[in-house]
Chain A
Amino acid sequence: MLRRASILVLFISVCAASVLAQQTTTTTQQPAAPKTHLQVGQAAPDFTLTDTAGKEVKLSDFKGKKNVVLAFYVLAFTGG
């Protein structure tokens, strides 16, 4: 049933080899946890980011068209 839903998953890769390279300590622990200030019912902040095909993707382009799942995935390409 879910397959029929007009839901788009935007997967945002959030972390980086560059960040790891900047680390001066040998820490491998998870970062301290800042709780988001956003709450259910609030408008999601708009953004424009580039996908793997080089195409710009804007969150507001899906407004009125699709529901969106936005997954922030830390250390996506580090095996972490």
Chain B
Amino acid sequence: MDSFAANKRYAEDLAVTFPLLSDWHRKVVKDYGLLDEKSGYSRRATFVIDKDGKITHIEEGRSAIDPTGAYQACSVFEKKKAG
């Protein structure tokens, strides 16, 4: 929901190396069931999605700030690759 310009500045400040996307119209947070219509805010969340487009891990709320769960979910891909 941040604007394109705000995201651009944010990405530059942090020197991010991954795509930083703007959900200005709140459509994606709605599709992912994260938008609280009353407040207009979304919840923090992390989804891990495999190559088939299937969700393999969901972390919601305050715990989504901690990337450990997503990291562990990603390590499953590595194991599959190695195995």
Binding site for B on A (CB under 8 A): 1-2, 4-5, 7-19, 22, 30-47, 49-52, 54, 57, 59-60, 62-74, 76-77
Q: Is the interface of B mostly helix, strand, loop or mixed?
A: mixed
Number of interface residues of B (CB under 8 A): 60
Please measure, in the bound complex, the distance between the C-alpha atom of A57 and the C-alpha atom of B6, giving whole angstroms. Answer: 18
Q: Which of A40, A45, A51, A72 contacts B57 (CB 8 A)?
A: A40
A68 touches B7 (CB 8 A): no
Contact flag A14-B42 (CB < 8 Å), given A50-B4, A52-B4? yes
B33 touches A74 (CB 8 A): no
Q: Does any Cβ of A come within 8 Å of B83's Cβ? A: no
* Chain B contacts for A17, CB-based, 8 A: 2-3, 6
With A38-B58, A40-B55, A47-B31 as contacts: A54 and B4 at CB distance below 8 Å: yes
Query: Closest residue to B2 on the A side, CB-wise?
Result: A13
Evaluate contact between A49 and B74: CB separation under 8 angstroms.
no
CA distance A11 to B4 in the complex (A): 13
B68 proximity list for chain A (CB < 8 A)? none
